[in-house]
Amino acid sequence: MLYWAAVFFIVALISAVLGFSGLASGAAGIAKILFFVFLVLGALSLVFGRRVPA
């Protein structure tokens, strides 16, 4: 998921440099959503991931 967030971020940067502001804002929005989903899933896997047998 972090890979796709980085891909959309790169697409947003390239399209912003080329002047496609609509595409750049859309790609940046998607990258932001994917990054926050990655953070939430990463935090949940840390909390609920591995259990030590008691």
Residue 51 pLDDT: 72
- CA dihedral angle for residue 16, residue 17, residue 18, residue 23, rounded to 10 degrees: -10
Q: Residue 25: inside a domain, yes or no? A: yes
Residue 39 pLDDT: 93
Q: Residue 37: inside a domain, yes or no? A: yes
Residue 54 pLDDT: 66
Nearest CA among 28, 26, 30, 1 for reference residue 13: 28
Q: Residue 52: inside a domain, yes or no? A: no
Residue by residue, pLDDT tens for the chain (54 residues) are 788 888 888 998 899 899 888 888 889 899 899 999 999 998 998 888 877 776
Angle at 5 between CA 18 and CA 40, to 5 degrees: 150
Q: Residue 27: inside a domain, yes or no? A: yes
pTM of the model: 0.73
Name the domain count of the chain.
Answer: 1
Q: Residue 13: inside a domain, yes or no? A: yes
Q: Residue 51: inside a domain, yes or no? A: no
Domain that holds residue 18: 2-41
Q: Residue 48: inside a domain, yes or no? A: no
How far apart (Å, rounded) are the C-alpha atoms in residues 30 and 12?
A: 9
Residue 8 pLDDT: 86
Are 4 and 37 contacting, i.e. CB atoms less than 8 angstroms apart? Answer: no
Q: Residue 10: inside a domain, yes or no? A: yes
